[in-house]
Amino acid sequence: MWRATTVQACGMWPFAAGSGSPMTGVPLGQHLFTGATVCGDPLNWFTRARYISNPSLFMLGMPGLGKSTLVNRMLIGLAATGVVPLVLGDLKPDYADTVRALGGQVISIGRGRGGINVLDPGAMGAAAARIGGEAGEVLKAEAHGRVLNMVAALVTIVRGRPMDDHEQSVLSAVLHHLRERTPEGRTVLLPDVLRVLTEGPPRVRAVTLDRGDDARYRDAVDPLHRSLLGILDGPLGDTFASETSTRIDPNAPAVCIDISGIGEADTQLTAAAMLAAWSDGLGTVAASHALADAGLAPRRWFFTVLDELWRPLRAASGIVDRIDALTRLNRSLGLGDAKITHTLKDAEALGTDADRAKARGFVERAGMVVCAGLPRTEMEDLGKVVGLSRREIELVSSWSSPPGWGVNGDNEEPPGRGRFLIKVGGRPGIPIKVAITDAERHLHNTNTRWTPNEDAVEQAAARAAQQVARAAQEGVLPGGPGTETAGRWTA
């Protein structure tokens, strides 16, 4: 294959034509049919190319076909242009090594590893104090709303249903009371909320409509009190009841919050850790832009990765509201995002019609929809949302087939690995093939646990050889004393 200018190529071969592949953004791979280079990412297609009206990406596909690998490539490419990648809840972890290689910050969250104080305003509180004035007060109010939203999310996870409206009013009054009376330099903790509920100051009692009746006050706050006790004394207490172990560095070139130490079956803690990480990370984004607006810091763009979205969605009824509230950001905030899950059925598995509709909205609002291999039924359902042609459905469905039987025992990859279809609105899809480099393969191996440990194999072989030698010295060999039953297996 040779590359030439249009002046030269038309003289050598007069039937040359442009491929029409987009060339703006991170180089992703080659067009599956023309071989042309295809570039793209949510931020560049929104800011430079103007292909999309919302800088977001939603990716679906069966496990093991390279979804996180493609997003990892976008992350690296965007970091090279000064965009700050934020991986808010790395579950495997898929991105920690990449963030370290970029010189970024990796924060571990989990029992015995580190925690997040959900009442800490974090970067937003620090930025509000630095900015001061009316703009600082506005940022304080936004920080208050994020903290309230996060505590409500924890209560939702513990209960399995959303908080009542009057309980959110009580919680908001408690937080205001604590902010006004907590000394500067000390952060508020969840046990402080319980103390205020027990004391029942006038500001908190006023929103319960107790009318001076202590029994009415207790009836109003006791359900919330019990739920907060369930957080502190239950599976979430060790992680969210104390000071934040490591705060996000607002000046880091990349940030990864690693929650891979949380067990697979611990759905409540996983969902809570992801939501807390998102809240803290998006608060850092808001603080950065507030400082830039005030002329106190340079303008920075951010790219958030929300992988394995299905896990927090299934944690509790109503949790989709909290995710929607945390991720529905204005386009002017300079934030692009990538949400990754397996199928649309992840949304259909939610408990209520309202939750299912809101989860489907994640796909409908996405500027880019990227499909890896999916079964035909899944593609037909997706076609009702993003408008897929029959040919596109057949193409992506063919990528979901398993690999062929290796005649010689050779490893065969699934036919769909590294193949993706990029859809933008009603435009025809762009099928691409991604070939990873050695550097990417070293940084991003989602099958690390299945990689043989050569040192362990050699050590096991040496131990086995020592055991055989010891058995030979003691005369305990197949067919010898103490091994009478071995005769039945002797030819």
What is the end-to-end Cα distance of the chain in Å, rounded? Answer: 61
pLDDT exceeds 90 at position 27: yes
Comparing C-alpha atoms, which of 67, 70, 44, 40 is closest to residue 440?
70
Report pLDDT digits (tens) over 215-242.
999 999 999 999 998 888 877 777 888 8
CB atoms within 10 A of CB 160: 13
Report pLDDT digits (tens) over 172-208.
999 999 988 888 778 889 999 999 999 999 999 999 9
Residue 490, pLDDT score: 41
Tokens of 293: 């607006």
- Residue 158 near residue 236 (C-beta atoms within 8 A): yes
Of 49-53, 239-243, 479-483, minimum mean pLDDT range: 479-483
Comparing C-alpha atoms, which of 54, 86, 146, 130 is closest to residue 293?
130
Tokens of 364: 């409908």
Question: Considering the chain, what is the average pLDDT of its residues?
Answer: 83
Residue 278, pLDDT score: 83
pLDDT exceeds 70 at position 478: no
Higher pLDDT, 488 or 58: 58
Q: Give the pLDDT band (50/70/90) at residue 86.
A: very high
pLDDT exceeds 60 at position 17: no
The 8 Å CB, 24+ separation contacts for 362-367 are: 362/58, 362/309, 362/324, 363/58, 363/60, 365/54, 365/56, 366/54, 366/56, 366/57, 366/58, 366/339, 367/42, 367/45, 367/46, 367/51, 367/52, 367/53, 367/54, 367/55, 367/56, 367/57, 367/424
pLDDT exceeds 80 at position 378: yes
pLDDT exceeds 80 at position 312: no
Instruction: Say how far apart CA 121 and CA 167 lie, in whole Å.
Output: 21
Of 206-220, 280-294, 316-330, 411-425, minimum mean pLDDT range: 316-330
pTM over 0.85: no
Beta bridge partners of 106: 256
Question: How much of the chain, in percent, has pLDDT values that exceed 70?
Answer: 83
Tokens of 289: 């832009």
Cα 444 off chain centre by: 16
